[in-house]
Structure 1
Amino acid sequence: MCGAALGAGASGACAVSAQPPSELMVAYAARVAGDDARTRVVLDFDTRPTFQARYISNPDRIVVDLPATAFAFAESDLKATGLFSDIRYGSMDANSARIVLTAQRPAKLVSAQVLANDDGKGFRLVLDAELIPQQDFDQLVKEQAWGSEPQPMTIAADSAAAVGSVPDEYVIAIDAGHGGIDAGAAGATTKTSEKDITLAFARILLEKLKKEPGIHAVMTRENDEFLSLSQRVVLARQKGAELLISLHADTLRQGDIRGATVYTISDKASDHMAAQLAERENFSDAIGGVALSDEPSEVSDILLDLTRRETQAFSISMAQAVVSSFEGQIGLINNPHRYAGFRVLQAHDVPSILLELGFLSNKEDEKLLLDPVWRDKVAGLMVDAIRRYRAPVLANGG
């Protein structure tokens, strides 16, 4: 559908004539890029635009109001993608215009700013939206105090704050792998879904971490729902995570391989098995209808440059702490710390590990993964690993 012209007197076309009235501000170019966790909308103007933004529910929408504007770009330039199922724009009356961004899932603007173009000609309005929980969007709508005229919003980049945490607490995000339409692997004997095992273990770990002083634990998913890999990263960051632990229990063709493994991110896999495992885990997005090829080139470039050195060093330190805590207590595979290009570990600013609790393709591992006593023991060992990881920082008063 056309980025539809708005207003009672509008025609079916969104673009205006090639020679718009001189009093109109002209939006001469537009583009949109992103995925279902974060999306950027950019419009280029011949003069500096002013704007106001607000939120409307049922359906969930972000509304951006502008002065009188001639939209002179091709309809296809602002085709809905990423977070948005529909993008409409056009005149409201002689003095105003509007952009309506209809979200597929609740979203908020984390950055909205007007920048001068690098060539010195014109300005661009840059809108960065991110996925948020439904209750947070509902609260945004509720807190708005506007009547017939929308109130201006002042939004700074990276303004999203952790919800429910205390400033001095160390926030850990527990990511139960798979969920919803993506069941993950299945047990060799019981056919139990990986998504159920990871969620059950995540809940046990959450309860143990709640008892740890100075730690605030959160979960990326609390029930059987699908989250894309990118959504998991964004949600962890929005919750203020300083460490992300992604839980899995995969299958291998070799049914005799068993034991826990901990992975960190790397452009180059440590071995063939790690590479294959990363490929299968990254396929979760395709199962849920999310295609990596849909992401803009700048996002893909970021995915290739997965972590900065400091974050990578912290991730490796946490992986080593897990191995040290598990050794002699539960079974580990040979070379238990491995690495590959797992997209769920892509956050450049959040140390992250992926823990394979065991392999559902091995009957003995499957029995353990379904054993409440074993789960409780491993969760306790994870808490010990987190203490080991944090010990150097706490010793220095951090």
Structure 2
Amino acid sequence: MKAGAATADGGGRRRFFTRIGCALFLLVGFGATLPLSSAGAAPQPPLLAFSARVAGDEARTRIVIDFEKKPEFSVHYVAAPERVIVDLPATAFGFPAEDLSARGLFKDIRYGTMGESSARIVLTAKRPVKLSIAEVQSNDNGSYRLVLDAEMASKEVFADLVKTQNWATSAAATPDPLAMAEKDNVFTVAVDAGHGGIDAGATGAGTKTPEKTITLAFAKTLAERLNKVEGIKAFLTRDDDTFLSLSERVTLARQGHADLFVSLHADTLGQKDIRGATVYTLSDKASDRMAENLATRENLSDELAGYTLQSGPPEVADILLDLTRRETQAFSIALASNVVESFEGQIGLINNPHRYAGFQVLRAPDIPSVLLELGFLSNAEDEKLLLDESWRSKVIDRMVDAIRRYRDRAMANGG
């Protein structure tokens, strides 16, 4: 196998050694792709895998391998360490090894011949994972591509995948995260406390209170209040001082089948006289210089914590996704308008309180999303309010009102 050999636990390991023998295992371990032959009938010519690519981050990663002919494949999960095993017919891997180098969710990717009639790809993960998509798609030129979309999963989810799979058949992929979840009567809100862990965010000019502490306090209270509203369920992307990458926040919202995503922040500005709340929605073109600068700083969160995004998160580039994005953006703007309406006259707002910019944390294509700047820690008056529990309660009341009205309108329109 390329970059080493792979085994499977339990019965998988026994089958592995039975099929190729210990000597072959050692040879494969040196990185050679070894086509084998026997004295019997001539084996079928191997499939040709002629190109490969990996994209994504530590929340979602896509692997695509192009084949001359349509490949049959099976997928299984192996624990200790967490691995995804992809078994293929005899395959000649005709692309440079660096094209399938590990990144994103995976710390090691190995592949190679298993015998006369089979080959294997072993994806060793940095954390528990699951495949949301595992399918063969046709290319325009008559070739085919194997598409594997992996996303982070809990230890419990991965353990269940290992436990319930049948090695005689392929493990089924979990549902496509872009597929619509089954409708129910519960309106779900993902409440995201900005920053956390090594990423403290902004710092109060007077008290030196970190932004991550303020956003978490607001998020906990907002989720608690929303959960008291009949028909609404809220959950937190983080409930303690933990770092989450921007992509992890979005993935957690999607895995929780959120109908709304609200990210809470309290930034600083060079102009200390500017104060008040601001609601942001996503746009590739910023509404103004202040929004552009703020989005740039917020998008640096991953780099500050040592996360380097090697490639953008995997997405399905088709017209359906584009239409989903447009519809989602319209809902996001409606939510922002509701927040502004609820705040007006009761909570201080900056001029032009609904603004937009390219915030990475708002890029879920299927979840209406807003980023709420509660106020600015660079302003002494705003800082006092941000640390005042009674003011926090008032802001939360207004947010609950905005979300409830948005939910009611969405339900009335069949959303």
After TM superposition, the structure 1 = structure 2 runs for residues 144-183 of structure 1, keeping only pairs within 5 Å, are: 144=165, 146=166, 149=167, 151-155=169-173, 158=176, 167-183=184-200
How many residues in Structure 1 have an aligned counterpart in Structure 2?
390
Secondary structure class of the residue paired with 2:134: strand
After TM superposition, the structure 1 = structure 2 runs for residues 83-94 of structure 1, keeping only pairs within 5 Å, are: 83-94=105-116
Listed one character per residue, the Cα deviations across residues 41-70 of structure 1 (whole Å, up to 9, x for unaligned) are 122334332222121222221111223333
Match of 1:328 among 306, 328, 345: 345
Secondary structure class of the residue paired with 2:392: helix
Amino acid at match of 2:130: K
- CA distance in 2: counterparts of 1:162 and 1:135, whole angstroms: 23
Residue of structure 1 equivalent to 2:163:
142
Match of 1:308 among 322, 325, 328: 325
- CA distance in 2: counterparts of 1:336 and 1:291, whole angstroms: 32
Q: Does 1:220 align with 2:241?
A: no
Residue of structure 2 equivalent to 1:132:
153
Q: Shift of the alpha carbon at 1:92? A: 3.1
- CA distance in 2: counterparts of 1:112 and 1:329, whole angstroms: 50
Residue of structure 1 equivalent to 2:92:
70
Match of 1:274 among 291, 297, 315: 291
Extract unaligned runs of 5+ from structure 1: none
Q: Shift of the alpha carbon at 1:91? A: 2.7
CA contact (8 A) 1:30 1:77 kept: yes
Amino acid at match of 1:74: P
Q: Shift of the alpha carbon at 1:300? A: 11
> Which shows bigger deviation, 386-395 or 236-245?
386-395
Secondary structure class of the residue paired with 2:268: coil
Secondary structure class of the residue paired with 1:208: helix
- CA distance in 2: counterparts of 1:31 and 1:59, whole angstroms: 23
Listed one character per residue, the Cα deviations across residues 142-184 of structure 1 (whole Å, up to 9, x for unaligned) are 333x4xx453123375168899x98221111111111122111
Provide the alpha-carbon RMSD of the alignment: 3.0
Residues 222, 66 of structure 1: alpha-carbon distance in 2 compared, 3 angstrom cutoff: same
**TM-score, length-scaled by structure 2:** 0.85
Q: Shift of the alpha carbon at 1:373? A: 2.0
Amino acid at match of 1:153: A
- CA distance in 2: counterparts of 1:260 and 1:30, whole angstroms: 46
Residue of structure 1 equivalent to 2:49:
27
Q: Shift of the alpha carbon at 1:5? A: 4.5
Amino acid at match of 2:145: R
Residues 328, 214 of structure 1: alpha-carbon distance in 2 compared, 3 angstrom cutoff: same
- CA distance in 2: counterparts of 1:277 and 1:197, whole angstroms: 18
Listed one character per residue, the Cα deviations across residues 277-300 of structure 1 (whole Å, up to 9, x for unaligned) are 111111112112333553379799
Extract unaligned runs of 5+ from structure 2: 7-24
Residue of structure 1 equivalent to 2:19:
none
- CA distance in 1: counterparts of 2:382 and 2:389, whole angstroms: 13
Residues 56, 245 of structure 1: alpha-carbon distance in 2 compared, 3 angstrom cutoff: same
Residues 321, 159 of structure 1: alpha-carbon distance in 2 compared, 3 angstrom cutoff: closer
Secondary structure class of the residue paired with 2:114: strand
Q: Does 1:265 align with 2:287?
A: no
Match of 2:103 among 64, 78, 81: 81
Secondary structure class of the residue paired with 1:308: helix
Listed one character per residue, the Cα deviations across residues 255-278 of structure 1 (whole Å, up to 9, x for unaligned) are 222111111112222221111111
Amino acid at match of 1:130: E
CA contact (8 A) 2:62 2:314 kept: no
Q: Does 1:54 align with 2:76?
A: yes
What percent identity do the matched residue pairs reach?
60
Residues 224, 137 of structure 1: alpha-carbon distance in 2 compared, 3 angstrom cutoff: farther
- CA distance in 1: counterparts of 2:179 and 2:186, whole angstroms: 14
Match of 2:59 among 37, 42, 49: 37
CA contact (8 A) 2:108 2:123 kept: yes
Amino acid at match of 1:190: T
Residues 162, 55 of structure 1: alpha-carbon distance in 2 compared, 3 angstrom cutoff: farther
Q: Shift of the alpha carbon at 1:301? A: 12
- CA distance in 2: counterparts of 1:372 and 1:233, whole angstroms: 28
> Which shows bigger deviation, 180-189 or 388-397?
388-397
Residue of structure 2 equivalent to 1:13:
31
Listed one character per residue, the Cα deviations across residues 297-318 of structure 1 (whole Å, up to 9, x for unaligned) are 979999xx89733222211111
- CA distance in 2: counterparts of 1:247 and 1:359, whole angstroms: 12
Match of 1:363 among 365, 380, 383: 380
CA contact (8 A) 1:306 1:347 kept: no
CA contact (8 A) 1:259 1:357 kept: yes
CA contact (8 A) 2:4 2:28 kept: no
Amino acid at match of 1:84: F
Amino acid at match of 1:154: A
Match of 1:112 among 134, 151, 176: 134
